[in-house]
Amino acid sequence: MVSPAIALAFLPFIVTLLIRYRHYLVLLYRAVLVAWLRDRLTGTSREQRAFQYVLAHAIPGDPHHILQTFDQWCYHCEHLSCVGPDKGRIVERVLLERAPLRVLELGTYCGYGTVLLAQGLPPGARLYTIEGDPRHAAVAEKVIRLAGFSEETVSTQQGGGWARCLPAPVTESDAAQVELIVGPSEEVIPCLREKHGLMNANLVFMDHWKRSYLRDLRLLESHQLLAEGATILADNVLFPGAPHFLQYAKTCGKYHCKVHRASLEYFRAIPDGIAELRYTGTH
- Asked whether the predicted pLDDT for residue 223 surpasses 70, the reply is yes
Residue 112 placed within a domain: yes
Q: Tell me the pLDDT tens digit for each residue of 25-54.
A: 888 888 889 889 999 999 999 999 999 999
How far, in Å, CA of 32 to CA of 36, rounded? Answer: 6
Instruction: Give mean pLDDT, residues 142-154.
Output: 81
Please give the DSSP secondary-structure letter assigned to residue 219. Answer: H
Q: Tell me the pLDDT tens digit for each residue of 69-107.
A: 999 999 999 999 999 999 999 999 999 999 999 999 999
For residue 169, name the pLDDT band (cuts at 50, 70, 90).
very low
Confidence at residue 18, expressed as pLDDT on a 0 to 100 scale: 57
Residue 257 placed within a domain: yes
- Asked whether the predicted pLDDT for residue 13 surpasses 50, the reply is yes
- Asked whether the predicted pLDDT for residue 165 surpasses 80, the reply is no
Residue 92 placed within a domain: yes
Number of structural domains in the chain: 1
Residue 36 placed within a domain: no
Q: Which domain holds residue 274?
A: 83-279
Confidence at residue 176, expressed as pLDDT on a 0 to 100 scale: 86
Residue 65 placed within a domain: no
**Residues 216, 186: contact at Cβ < 8 Å?**
yes
Mean pLDDT computed over every residue of the chain: 88
Residue 28 placed within a domain: no
Residue 95 placed within a domain: yes
Residue 136 placed within a domain: yes
The set of residues, in sequence order, having a beta carbon less than 8 Å from that of 123 and lying 6+ positions away, is 174, 175
CATH of the domain at 254: 3.40.50.150
